[in-house]
Amino acid sequence: MLGRWPSFDLVRRSKDMAAWRGALKPIFVQYEIGIFYRVPGILEAPSHRHQPIVRVLSPRLKPRADDPEGNLPHVYPDGTASPPLCLFDLEAREWNAWKLLAETTVPWAIDWLACYEGWRATGTWAGGGRHPGEERSGQ
């Protein structure tokens, strides 16, 4: 992570997990994000519990009430003020535990934040993707 994203600090680490904090500025606003990742065990099936968890720590994400995309699109609502971002489709196998977070998760977070800034300005989410429960395109 440090080689690609020198502004990111490793804030926690154990034998099977790590957490980083760092700043990203996709277009206009600088955001501080947190990334938490626990490496799945050999016998664990891939699931949303074993993907990188990315949260915007500051500034706080602002919802848009009654927006067709949802109050805050492409997040996993968890009842917190900083829900995990939905950066990829696990079912479409866009990510797996062998891919480097510095080469996938951080660039995808930048893309998500750029889409968020556009959505705040226009009300249109330009990032594509699908909502939980929706069929993947082409099915």
**8 A C-beta contact, residue 40 and residue 48:** no
Q: Judge if pTM exceeds 0.75.
A: yes
Q: Is there a domain that residue 75 lies in?
A: yes
Q: Is there a domain that residue 72 lies in?
A: yes
Residue-number span of the structural domain to which 60 is assigned: 9-122
For strands 31-38 and 17-24, give the pairing.
Answer: antiparallel
Q: Is there a domain that residue 64 lies in?
A: yes
Q: Is there a domain that residue 137 lies in?
A: no
Token representation of residue 135: 């069929």
Q: Is there a domain that residue 29 lies in?
A: yes
Measured CA angle at 96 (ends 91, 101), to 5 deg: 125
Q: Is there a domain that residue 23 lies in?
A: yes
* pLDDT digit string (tens) for the chain, length 139 residues: 888 999 999 999 998 899 999 999 999 999 999 999 988 766 656 555 668 999 999 999 998 888 877 789 999 888 888 999 999 877 767 777 778 899 999 999 999 999 999 999 998 898 877 655 566 554 4
Structurally, the chain folds into a number of domains equal to 1
Q: Is there a domain that residue 135 lies in?
A: no
Q: Is there a domain that residue 133 lies in?
A: no
Between CA 43 and CA 117 the distance in angstroms is 39
Q: What is the DSSP letter of 28?
A: S
